[in-house]
Amino acid sequence: MRVVLPSIERPKKLPVVLNQNEIRQLLRTPKLLKHRLVLAMLYGCGLRSFEVRNLQRRDLDFDRKMLHVRQGKGRKDRYVPLSGMQVRGLKKYLLAENPVTWCFTGNDRTGSPAQLSSQGVQWIVREARRHSGIQKEITAHILRHSYATHLLEMGLDIMSVRDLLGHADIQTTLVYLHVAQSGRQRPFSPLDRLYGQ
């Protein structure tokens, strides 16, 4: 039996993706636990910027190691797994900061705690990149691209990746097949075979 995949039009511009060492470097850069956790949620759960901002304490299920993403793009809910590292970090952060509603807060114009702003998320990502020494462009969405690509490279199937990202259309997810270094045989340079590296 032959499996025929749908033909996909090659995207004009492929997304920027960080490698795993760059992700590790970026995640350990911020001094504040809150900033490290925001980066860990963007990458480790593949969240969009507004989804991180909308996270509430009630969305965290530490026993099941799951995160309930409410009203993502297209007003769709979904569940994504939390890593053990995220659970430990979030527990420590929540104990220290004790936010009332939103997981991550900033300050409003009066200095009172408020939902983290989109500028706040951008600032966290920009400062982490600046201090990490990574030369690639890094945005919240590039961390989401890296999440999807790394999951495919680690062997997760495309349909599961689509569900985790909350994509309505598989065509949107298929772009990551052009970026991921996976498949029947991992791509290589002929120079590696010529010189036995």
What is the sign of the dihedral through the CA atoms of 115, 117, 121 and 123?
A: negative
167 is an active site residue = yes
48 as an active site residue: the answer is: yes
Instruction: Judge whether 145 counts as a catalytic residue.
Output: no
Among 48, 53, 129, 162, the one annotated catalytic: 48
Active site residue 144: yes
Whether the CB-CB separation of 165 and 173 falls below 8 Å is answered with: yes
Catalytic entry in 73, 88, 130, 178: 73
Active-site hit among 129, 144, 150, 162: 144
Q: Which residues contact 26 (CB under 8 A, 6 or more apart)?
A: 18, 39, 43, 128, 129, 132, 134, 138
Q: Give the span between the Cα atoms of 93 and 95, in whole angstroms.
A: 5
Cα-Cα end-to-end distance for the chain: 38
The rounded Cα 83 to chain-centroid distance in angstroms is 12
The residues, ordered by sequence, that sit 6+ positions from 132 with a Cβ below 8 Å of its Cβ are 22, 25, 26, 29
Angle of CA points 87, 91, 154, to nearest 5°:
15
Q: Which residues carry out catalysis?
A: 48, 73, 141, 144, 167, 176
